[in-house]
Structures are given as structure tokens and as C-alpha cells.
């Protein structure tokens, strides 16, 4: 089983009301107009101008300080727009700029005077700093990160609330690192059986209930989509189910005393060759990350107890490889999904919606208040929105709006897309209830969403197509090249602030950008 790597929760981070004497690098914020956020400090305007430093968000100005210390001024941008998400970006820039420093301090004294609370400020800073310090080092000899300690400096009276922000930030950063580790792991080392073992290990440590369906149990459960995709692989499939139950003290109950359930479903294709509809070399290179949705769901469930989530959360991760073996499904085959509906498979590389159909069917049977799925589902969404923005769709305006607001707080950009009834006929099949692809080159992300909608019943449902932002081709801000862990923060924001919907789906949604 894959061993869990070091995480932000295991690395020394503390809150203090003073900067340690022996620290190699220290950073503090500056606002556009070259005013420092920290009281009592002034910038050398001439020096800033020579270095073309304007304190725009994400800019840094590095200069030598006393006793060999490095000073880093962080651009915070417009004071009126300062929030936890923007502070997250500034802290990420600080993490990159400190280089090989072993001991660093980030001075947030005075930040609360700009309208952001100490708890929110520190949480955002921790998430950004550790996001940028992430390294996938399992197959490197030695750890390239020399960091020994991080100190967050705040005013004395802010220490208690800052420490709460520190703990929340570490939990969320830890979950994001886990999702990145899982998706970065080579497919040869993390087949479905191994992913299920990791889920069980996490459940044991995090106070979750875990149920794993093996191949025989998957047959008995009538998960025809998962079985069909798995048929071409020598690796057996698994259905991972994790359940978080809130403590009685933390439970957020409805007026009738019941605790709402939120169901999460993540696509878990541990490697996607395309099946018989084989991908190109370029299209296959990053396909070990085609289980990023499942990784996000597993990591999110693992963080629920530490964050005192007040609702019941059930996570499903249908996981398999998609390979072109001798038993692989063929174009024209028909699969019967858990809820009884049938899908004609015209393109075996449109496999994610087949396994999600089973996962969503199972989720709907939990009688949930809401269902949210995440999937690296369509190249069409990448064409439409690029590599930094996820597509957001759903059948309930209230839920889609809640996910959208959570993504905004989390700093994970989403774009709200429609599910137009006029395109439903694009997935009509002559031989089954539907087919697994729409018109070639036309609204691919939307027709995929329309297919998924067939498996949620009347439950409020939101779908995140994370094909673009789940993977980064470069080091940029808090993102490192490789898996990004996209979706973990959004899901945790949604769950921590969740308000019960308490009624069936209420209208489709579409049209608004959040970033």
C-alpha cells in the first residue's frame, strides 16, 4: 500500500506575537500605492521603483536585511479587494521567494486593520504557503525542501483566533497534499486495489466508515458501467464508499431534528488509455491523474472530522483502469447501470460518465440532501474554459450557487454552464436509453452533464468538470507542476458552511463566472 508522505500537519508551524530573532527570511505585505500593511514600516519608494515593484497581487521584492536575513515584501494589491483567497496567493509567492531558507516568518501584523479577520487571514496564508511548498518526492533521492520552521506573526490579542486559523489551514493544506499525492502516484503503483487500501487506511485514522466492493460485490450490486469499463484491464475494479458521521455536538440538524446527508462522487480512473478508442501519445501522458475526482473525494472525507463538519457526508469513488484488453467493451456495446437505465457505448474513451452513472445512482439511494460529483470528464471543458477554470453544472439553482460561492471562497475558479434541454436529444440512442457521447465537436461538456443528470433522480445535484484545473503544466503561484488537488478546498468550504436544501431539485442553472 502507498505510504502517506510528509504533510503540512507534520511540519513545524506556529503562531507568535513576535518575529523570532534567528530567522533566515521574513515577509510582510504591501498595498498598491506602496503602503505597508504592517504598522511602523515604510518602504524605500526609490528602491521599489528601480525594481519595478508596485505591490500588485503576487509580486515580491526581495532585499538583504540585517545579520544575513532576507526581507521579502509581498504585493497584496488593492486594499479594498483583500480577502483570504488573495492573501493565499500572496503567501504562495512568499513561499516560492524564500528559496533555501530553513527558518522563515510571515508577519501579518496589521492585516486585520484591512477588514479581514485574523483566523481567516492565517488560514488563507497557511493554505497558500503550503500549497506552493508542495513537492512530490516519493521517487527522488532526498527531500528537496529544506524548510525547518514557519512562524506566523500577529498582534498579541489576535493569537487565539490566529491559532484557530492555523489549525484549519493545516488540515485543508494536508488534504490538498493528499489529493495531489494520490493523483501524482504512477498508475503502476496505484491501481484500484491500492487506492481502495489507501482509502481504508485513511478511514481508520480519520474516524470514517469504509466499505469496499470487490469485483464479485460489484457484480452483485449491478454496477454495469463500472464493470464495463473495467473489462479490458487485468486490474480488478473497486467501489470505494466512505461515510463521515458528525458528532452529536457538531451536527447541524434540520428543524425536525434530522441530520442532512451530502453525497460526493469522484471519478476514479487510475489510468485511462481510452480503451479500444485509444488515445494518442500526447493524450495519454497525464492519464494517471484521471482519478483526481476520486482523490479529491477521499481527501475531503478525511478532513471532515478535524474541521467539525456538521452534516453527514457519504463519498463514492468508482475506480478502475480503462484499458484495451481482449475483453474490453467495444463501440456499440450496451451497458446497464445500477438504476436500470442503459447506455450504448459509442466511444470507449467517454468512460468517466459510465462509472459516474453507477456512483451517482448509489449516491441517490442514500436519500441525500444534495449530490456533488467531481470528474476529469471532458476535453471539451478544457477547450471552453482552459486549464485554470472548472465547469460547474447542476439541476438545482440553490446547490449550484452554494458550490459556486464555496469555490470563490476557496480560490478555485469555476464557470457556471447550462444544461439545456434542447441538447438532450444529442445523446438519444437507437438501441438503448442513451448513448455515451453527443454530436462530435458540439457541446461535449454539456451533453456529458446531461447524461449524468439521468442518474440522480430528483435529488439536488451539482457537477464539477475539473479536466482543466486538476493538472498544472507549470509551477505557478500555489500550484506545482502535476496534480493540483483542485476541488478539495471547494468541497470543504461547501461542507463547513452547508445549509440544508430540504427539498427536491429546483431548476437548472447556468451562466456566471467565479474566480
Cα–Cα distance for residue pair 1/164, rounded to 1 Å: 33
Q: Walk me through the domains of the chain, giving residue ranges and CATH numbers.
A: 8-174 (3.40.220.10), 185-514 (3.40.630.10)
Closest residue by Cα to residue 229 from 373, 317, 325: 325
Joined together, the cell numbers standing for residue 271 give 489510468
Which of the four pLDDT bands, split at 50, 70 and 90, describes residue 448?
Answer: very high
pLDDT digits (tens, 9 = 90+) for 226-248: 999 999 999 999 999 999 999 99
Confidence check: pLDDT of 99 > 90: no
Residue 259's alpha-carbon distances to 248, 249, 434, in angstroms, are 10, 12, 35
The catalytic residues are 279, 353
- The whole-number average pLDDT for the span 312-320 is 98
Joined together, the cell numbers standing for residue 447 give 451533453
- The whole-number average pLDDT for the span 268-292 is 97
Joined together, the cell numbers standing for residue 477 give 503561484
Q: What is the mean pLDDT of the chain?
A: 93
User: What residue has cell string 443528470?
Assistant: 453
Please state which of the ranges 67-76, 202-211, 449-458 shows the lowest mean pLDDT: 67-76
Confidence check: pLDDT of 504 > 50: yes
Cα–Cα distance for residue pair 7/306, rounded to 1 Å: 15
What pLDDT does residue 1 have?
Answer: 52
Amino acid at each position: 500500500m502507498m505510504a502517506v508522505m510528509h504533510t503540512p500537519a507534520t511540519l513545524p508551524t506556529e503562531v507568535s506575537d513576535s518575529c523570532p530573532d534567528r530567522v533566515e527570511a521574513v515577509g510582510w505585505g504591501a498595498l498598491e500605492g506602496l503602503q505597508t500593511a504592517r504598522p511602523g514600516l515604510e518602504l524605500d519608494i526609490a528602491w521599489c521603483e528601480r525594481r519595478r515593484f508596485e505591490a500588485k497581487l503576487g509580486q515580491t521584492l526581495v532585499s538583504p536585511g540585517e545579520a544575513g536575513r532576507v526581507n521579502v515584501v509581498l504585493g497584496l494589491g488593492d486594499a479594498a479587494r483583500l480577502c483570504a483567497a488573495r492573501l493565499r496567493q500572496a503567501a504562495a509567492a512568499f513561499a516560492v521567494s524564500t528559496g533555501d531558507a530553513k527558518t522563515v516568518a510571515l508577519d501579518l501584523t496589521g492585516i486585520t486593520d484591512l477588514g479581514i479577520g485574523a483566523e481567516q487571514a492565517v488560514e488563507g496564508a497557511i493554505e497558500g504557503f503550503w500549497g506552493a511548498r508542495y513537492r512530490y518526492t516519493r521517487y527522488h533521492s532526498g527531500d528537496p525542501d529544506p524548510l525547518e520552521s514557519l512562524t506566523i506573526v500577529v498582534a498579541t490579542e489576535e493569537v487565539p483566533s490566529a491559532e484557530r486559523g492555523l489549525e484549519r489551514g493545516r488540515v485543508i493544506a494536508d488534504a490538498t497534499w493528499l489529493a495531489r499525492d494520490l493523483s501524482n502516484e504512477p498508475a503502476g503503483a496505484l491501481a484500484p486495489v491500492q487506492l481502495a487500501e489507501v482509502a481504508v487506511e485513511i478511514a481508520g485514522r480519520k474516524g470514517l466508515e469504509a466499505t469496499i466492493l470487490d469485483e464479485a460485490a460489484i457484480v452483485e450490486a449491478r454496477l454495469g458501467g463500472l464493470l464495463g469499463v473495467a473489462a479490458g484491464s487485468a486490474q480488478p475494479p473497486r467501489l470505494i464508499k466512505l461515510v463521515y458521521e458528525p458528532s452529536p455536538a457538531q451536527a447541524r440538524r434540520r428543524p425536525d431534528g434530522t441530520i442532512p446527508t451530502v453525497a460526493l462522487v469522484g471519478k476514479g480512473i487510475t489510468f485511462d488509455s481510452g480503451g479500444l478508442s485509444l488515445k494518442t501519445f500526447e493524450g495519454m501522458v497525464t492519464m494517471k491523474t484521471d482519478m483526481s475526482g476520486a482523490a479529491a473525494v477521499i481527501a475531503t472525507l478525511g478532513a471532515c472530522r478535524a474541521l467539525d463538519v456538521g452534516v453527514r457526508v457519504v463519498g463514492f469513488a468508482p475506480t478502475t483502469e480503462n484499458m484495451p484488453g481482449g475483453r474490453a467493451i467495444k463501440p456499440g456495446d450496451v451497458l446497464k447501470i445500477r438504476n436500470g437505465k442503459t447506455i450504448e457505448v459509442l466511444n470507449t474513451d467517454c468512460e468517466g460518465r459510465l462509472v459516474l452513472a453507477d456512483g451517482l445512482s448509489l449516491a441517490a439511494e442514500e436519500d441525500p440532501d444534495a449530490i456533488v460529483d467531481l470528474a476529469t470528464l471532458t476535453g471539451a471543458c478544457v477547450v471552453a474554459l482552459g486549464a485554470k477554470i472548472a465547469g460547474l453544472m447542476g439541476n438545482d439553482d440553490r446547490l449550484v450557487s452554494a458550490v459556486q460561492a464555496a469555490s470563490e471562497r476557496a480560490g478555485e475558479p469555476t464557470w457556471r454552464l447550462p444544461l439545456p434541454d434542447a441538447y438532450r436529444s444529442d445523446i438519444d440512442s437507437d438501441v438503448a436509453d442513451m448513448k455515451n457521447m453527443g454530436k462530435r465537436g458540439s457541446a461535449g461538456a454539456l451533453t456529458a452533464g446531461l447524461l449524468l443528470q439521468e442518474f440522480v433522480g430528483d435529488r439536488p445535484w451539482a457537477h464539477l468538470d475539473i479536466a482543466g484545473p486538476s493538472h498544472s503544466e507549470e509551477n505557478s503561484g500555489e500550484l506545482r507542476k502535476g496534480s493540483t488537488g483542485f476541488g478539495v478546498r471547494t468541497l470543504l468550504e461547501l461542507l463547513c458552511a452547508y445549509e440544508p436544501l430540504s427539498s427536491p431539485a429546483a431548476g437548472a442553472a447556468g451562466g456566471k463566472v467565479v474566480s
